[in-house]
Amino acid sequence: MARGPGGQETEVRAVCHTELVKHCDAVWTDAAGNLIGLIREQHRESSVPPIKSVQVMAHLDEIAMIVKRVEANGTLRVVALGGANPVNFGMCPVDILAEDKVLPGVLSFGSMHATRESPQGKDVQDGAVSWQDVHVITRLGVEELRLAGVRPGTRVVLSRHWRAPWKVNDAIAAHFLDDRAPVAAALEAAALVASRKRELRCDVYFVFTTMEEESQAGAMYAARTLPCDITVALEVGPVLEEYGTELRVAPIISTGDMKAYYTRTIAERLQRAAERCGYSPQFALLVDFSSDASAVLASGISAQTGCLAIPTENTHGYEVILADGITACARTLVEFLADSE
């Protein structure tokens, strides 16, 4: 239920902080807004060579909207904050995150009873709605909106009225499982790592990154400032025939995406970790995709990277995962971190 548009993830960060402090040796928020939890390795024999520290990244932010301008009639023109089309939201209730309050609004494409004489008529009737056809109804005047701090740059998110998850037999459906499901997996993994701390041969940084959906700026800053050579991103993985992926519990191991090809040895270690946990992992080359890990690899600020993903239907829409997929991702990650290779 926590709202977390890019650059304004305070509510989500607070939830994660409450959980991390239960298991980590240190927890802090860096200058970029990333939440970081560190679990240190136990003292080891001097004869055992050290392994470089690992940073595990899951992003705090959700697909959202941002105000482009305030119209004279008090409606808001918005554009996507992250990779989404209007159809990903539909006509729905929204929360406008003003300076010191949350205002209600309705995301609108206009009436479906319009003819092509209306500006949005053709696109709406054809189902090809673009952001130029979209506005947010506020029922407030321009001056009221100004006094509330609504301006270009104000974030608009799906209302809490529509955020509750929906159970579909063995599956969970909700908006923003990207990246809330991987965030939940990271928190579960932190608890498991803390219980197996003596098996660690490296420090582990759990990094909950900001602004992944827009620019991956949070991950870039963390990778530059943390002493880690290995980065593993936890993500959702699209279930599509073109990638050969299926909606099942076993995690997806991405071998590459639009920004980089992941380190082969890391992918192989993730595979062995999943198999030791009793899963048959799915491999996929996710061409139309990117993650914090591929961004930092492509920029040369992390030496080795991997991506472990929870199989997900309807990515960036009303997403569906299997309930046990979160734990499968967490267990595989922990087995990877405890690996002595």
Give residue 336's pLDDT band: very low, low, confident or very high (50, 70, 90). Answer: very high
Domain end marker among 130, 162, 194:
162
Closest Cα partner for 93 from 49, 125, 138, 123? 138
pLDDT (0 to 100) of residue 212:
95
In a domain, 1, yes or no: no
Cis peptide preceding 288, ω within 30 of 0: no
| For residues 229-254, average pLDDT | 97
Number of domains in the chain: 2
Which residues are within 8 A (CB) of 202 and not within 5 positions of it... i.e. 6 or more apart? 41, 50, 51, 52, 53, 54, 337
Considering the domain architecture, whether residues 56 and 79 belong to the same structural domain is answered as no
Considering the domain architecture, whether residues 210 and 307 belong to the same structural domain is answered as yes
Is there a contact between 5 and 64 (Cβ–Cβ < 8 Å)?
yes
Considering the domain architecture, whether residues 279 and 194 belong to the same structural domain is answered as yes
Helices (H), 158-317: 177-195, 217-225, 264-276, 292-298
**53: which strand partners?**
228
In a domain, 2, yes or no: no
Give residue 175's pLDDT band: very low, low, confident or very high (50, 70, 90). Answer: very high
Considering the domain architecture, whether residues 210 and 317 belong to the same structural domain is answered as yes
Q: 117 pLDDT exceeds 80?
A: no
pLDDT (0 to 100) of residue 205:
98
* CATH code where residue 77 lies: 2.40.30.40
Q: What is the pLDDT of residues 130-150, one digit of tens each?
A: 888 899 999 999 999 999 999
Considering the domain architecture, whether residues 155 and 43 belong to the same structural domain is answered as no
Q: What is the pLDDT of residues 20-65, one digit of tens each?
A: 999 999 999 999 999 999 999 876 555 455 567 999 999 999 999 9
pLDDT (0 to 100) of residue 42:
79
b (16+ CB within 10 A) / e for 140-153 = beeeebeebebeee
Give residue 188's pLDDT band: very low, low, confident or very high (50, 70, 90). Answer: very high
pLDDT (0 to 100) of residue 171:
97
Structure-block tokens of residue 259? 């920004």
User: What mean pLDDT is reported for the chain?
Assistant: 92
Q: 240 pLDDT exceeds 60?
A: yes
pLDDT (0 to 100) of residue 130:
87
Kind of pairing between the strands at 76-81 and 64-70? antiparallel
Domain with 143 in it: 64-162
Give residue 126's pLDDT band: very low, low, confident or very high (50, 70, 90). Answer: low
Q: What is the pLDDT of residues 246-259, one digit of tens each?
A: 999 999 999 999 99
In a domain, 171, yes or no: no
| Of the candidate ranges 85-89, 170-174, 288-292, the one whose mean pLDDT is the lowest | 85-89
Considering the domain architecture, whether residues 325 and 229 belong to the same structural domain is answered as yes
In a domain, 39, yes or no: yes
In a domain, 168, yes or no: no
Q: What is the pTM for the complete model shown?
A: 0.93
Give residue 266's pLDDT band: very low, low, confident or very high (50, 70, 90). Answer: very high
* CATH code where residue 51 lies: 3.40.630.10
Helix (H, G, I), strand (E, B) or coil at 142: helix
| For residues 93-109, average pLDDT | 95
State percent of the chain over pLDDT 70: 93
Distance CA 220, CA 214 (A): 12
Considering the domain architecture, whether residues 260 and 325 belong to the same structural domain is answered as yes
pLDDT (0 to 100) of residue 45:
55
Considering the domain architecture, whether residues 97 and 144 belong to the same structural domain is answered as yes
| For residues 184-201, average pLDDT | 94
pLDDT (0 to 100) of residue 122:
61
pLDDT (0 to 100) of residue 62:
95
pLDDT (0 to 100) of residue 269:
96
Considering the domain architecture, whether residues 97 and 120 belong to the same structural domain is answered as yes
Considering the domain architecture, whether residues 31 and 84 belong to the same structural domain is answered as no
State percent of the chain over pLDDT 90: 83
Q: Distance of alpha carbon 251 from its chain centroid, rounded? A: 16
Locus of tokens 């949350």 = 102
